[in-house]
Amino acid sequence: MNHMENNSSKLPVVALAGNPNVGKSTVFNTLTGLRQHTGNWAGKTVSTASGQCTYGSFSCTLVDIPGSYSLYAQSAEEEAARDFLCFGNPDAVIVVCDATTLERNLNLVLQILELTSRVVVCINLMDEAGKKNIRVNLSKLSDLLGVPVVGTSARDGKGIDQLMKVLEKTIAGKSRPPLRIECPSAVENAVSLLEPVLSEHLMGRLPARFAALHILDSDPGLTNSLNQFLGFSLDQLPDVQAALFKAKRYLEEQGFFEEKLRDTIASRPVALAGNICSESVCAPSVSSNRDRKLDRFFTGKWTGIPIMLLLLAVVLWLTMTGANYPSSLLAAGFAWLEDHLRQGLTAISAPAWTISLLTDGIFHVLATVVSVMLPPMAIFFPLFTLLEDFGYLPRVAFNLDKCFQKACACGKQCLTMLMSLGCNAVGVAGAKIIDSPRERLIAILTSSLMPCNGRFPTLVALIGFIFVGSSLLSSVFSALLLAGVILLGIIVTFLLSRLLSATILKGIPSSFTLELPPYRRPQIGKVIVRSVLDRTLFVLGRAVSVAAPAGLVIWLLANLTIDGTSILQYCTGFLDPVARLFGMDGVILFAFILGFPANEIVLPLILMAYTASGTLPDAGNVNEIRALLTANGWTWLTASCTILFSLMHWPCSTTLLTIRKETKSLKWTFLAAALPTAAGLLACFVLTQISRIIT
């Protein structure tokens, strides 16, 4: 162990930087062989990932840092990226660029070159640039930038060998001073007043010119991080303050007031990038016609919203109908396995209670989780990933931004909601892509209103209870109903976001820029294989780590008795009167409470609790589940309220922990649990009372 640690700590550290959505994660995956989720939209890497990559005898630790447009950080994730580049002391930096939007990408490249010269520029997506008739003169570009430039198409692994070769050479080579982008002479004079003083205190830990420019530019974020890194307040030192005062006064005399000064400093790399591009890139003046046509269709005035709803319905319909067959197949398989397990245990004359605990308790809940949960996930996620790969998701955010504007929230919240559809915890962590802290909190607090991974199949099964039948029409109905449930989640998100921004999170919407990346042909085969595999492993992992212990707990609760009544009955009996107010029963509410560690066990727990003293239904068989629920007094109202409460209740433990970590506040964490729960209880209560009045 020690040996390994020593070994890995000696490896050079290479940072992988770049604008958002340039295929950074793909390059990372290709280099390290790790599988980090990649998608076609800005802001995918929400926290840094690292992995080892080896090429021949050369090895290094590669750190994938969040995508950023600039070292002048605007959001939490850009700050993380900047801090790693400035203070993480990487041995080299690979800056990944998109060959199709090179000019904009070069701005970041030049900013990083002002920081260090140990840079390899990786021009990715060369294949797409080729399709758009964009030609990049790599050797010319390398001459102009003064660092090696490698062209790659990371998706097909093209150019990766070359990238590693060049990287090895760069790390082994001599270090040169960083790039110097000249300012107008007045600013240069001011910099030279400040630079020597800073240099004395920095002692080579950060290029003094870089620090001087950022301090003159009054970049408070960087100054804070810099002070933290140094362990003392650099900008508070008397000699630094004196030099800064002198420099600022001189600049004002020369007519460089705050805004003009900032513009001058910021526009240097932008202007240089423009010049470099005009010398090394040959691009047709019109942007891609194909993308324009697709955008006119997917975001058109009359087509945008209908197509979005249609796509949602189709995806849900495919998921629901497609899941039926594998679900019953899995259920039958597990039933067969359970019989054999029981027989085997009987054969070795295990005590009756052990057999029941292992089969009725642990195995049965585990089997239900796998057979009910796995098929819908294994169908939904590949479809979702295909849309993501294609580049459709940012268009959804574009289409819906007006609604977020009305709710005084950020349009990027739409992207975190889509992430939440996969896993609420991922959605919470993903809220880092939102610049304004206020809007980020809104996104975090409402994140659990999107039915995640674990709740999705529960909803499918419950809708199956209301709409039973195997005809095409009823399956379409079910899909529409599920789409309706998700839409309800979206509407409640809007309402709560609006409510939050009118009350405790007051403020005006901050500025909003959203990049719409080019459409890309999804790698269909790869996506399907990978995401089916991912989902299967995910569900199996959760089944073992959460469902099996939950099965044990509920079996114990159902079988340990006090005065002839099981503990389970005590608990559910206690909750029953409360639950009835909201159209549910004690068992359902208890299952939601026990399901706190993971939402996917709620339905299996309900089934398990109902069958605790009776015969067991075939897990995954819709008709048997339906019969069991009806026998326990379920009506359409019970199912509807359970759906509503499943959509709106406290987030699971993992999500709450993530919220705690992201907000660093117990108050917000508590609110993130209380808010959706209150909304859910209110909705259930209103529905129940209305139905009682009507009937």
Partner 1 sequence: MSSPKLPLSNVRVGQRAAVANLEASGPMRRRLMDLGLTAGAQVECLHRSPWGDPAAYAIRGAVIALRDCDSAKISVIPLP
126 binds partner 1 (CB under 8 A): no
Residue 275 near partner 1 by CB under 8 A: no
Tokens of 234: 């650099």
Phi, psi of 513 (to 5 degrees): -125, 130
**114/401 with CB nearer partner 1:** 401
* Residue 405 engages partner 1 in binding (rule: CB under 8 A): yes
Nearer to partner 1, 403 or 568 (CB): 403
Q: Is 514 in the site for partner 1 (CB under 8 A)?
A: yes
Residues 76-105 that bind partner 1 (CB under 8 A): 100-104
Report d(CA 8, CA 13) in Å as an integer.
10
Which range binds partner 1 by CB under 8 A, 418-426, 510-518, 531-539, 591-599? 510-518
Among 7, 228, 267, 474, which residue interacts with partner 1 (rule: CB under 8 A)?
267
Query: CA angle, 271 as apex, 268 and 277 as ends, to 5°?
Result: 135
DSSP 552-613: HHHHHHHH-EETTEEHHHHHHHHHHHHHHHTT--HHHHHHHHHTTT-GGGHHHHHHHHHHTT
In the list 87, 398, 477, 596, the residue contacting partner 1 (rule: CB under 8 A) is 398
Q: Is residue 94 within 8 Å of residue 67, measured between CB atoms?
A: no
CB of 166 to partner 1, least distance (A): 25
Structural tokens at position 326: 């594998």
Q: Does 140 bind partner 1 (CB under 8 A)?
A: no
Please report, for residues 152, 436, 493, 573, 594, the alpha-carbon distance to residue 676 in angstroms, rounded to integers and kept in the order given.
Answer: 46, 22, 9, 25, 18
Residue type for 469, please?
Answer: G
CA-nearest of 64, 46, 40 to 516 is 40
Q: Does 513 bind partner 1 (CB under 8 A)?
A: yes
Residues 676 and 666: their CA atoms lie apart, in Å, by: 16
Residue 411 contacts partner 1 per CB under 8 A: yes
| In the block, residue with structure tokens 């309706």 | 484
Q: How far is the CB of 162 from partner 1 (least distance, A)?
A: 24
Q: Is 224 in the site for partner 1 (CB under 8 A)?
A: no
What CA–CA distance (Å, rounded) separates 241 from 201? Answer: 13
Residue 127 lies near partner 1 (rule: CB under 8 A): no
Amino acid (one-letter) located at 154? A
Both tokens of 255, joined, read 């007519």
Of 144, 181, 230, 266, which one interacts with partner 1 (CB under 8 A)?
A: 266
Among 29, 45, 327, 399, interactor with partner 1 by CB under 8 A: 399
70 binds partner 1 (CB under 8 A): yes
**From candidates 48, 59, 74, 137, binder to partner 1 by CB under 8 A:** 74
Binders of partner 1 in range 330-349 (CB under 8 A): none
Instruction: Using only the alpha carbons of the chain, give its radius of gyration.
Output: 29
User: Which one among 16, 109, 283, 625 touches partner 1, defined by CB under 8 A?
Assistant: 283
Taking a C-beta distance cutoff of 8 angstroms, is the pair 86, 206 a contact? yes
Does 290 participate in binding partner 1 (rule CB under 8 A)?
A: no
**Binding test (CB under 8 A) with partner 1, winner from 107, 223, 420, 448:** 107
At residue 283, what is the residue type?
A
- Please report how close the Cβ of residue 509 comes to partner 1 at its closest, in angstroms: 8
Interacting residues toward partner 1 by CB under 8 A: 69-70, 72, 74, 100-104, 107, 259, 262-263, 266-267, 270-271, 273-274, 283, 287, 291-292, 295-296, 299-302, 304-305, 398-399, 401-402, 405, 411, 435, 509-518
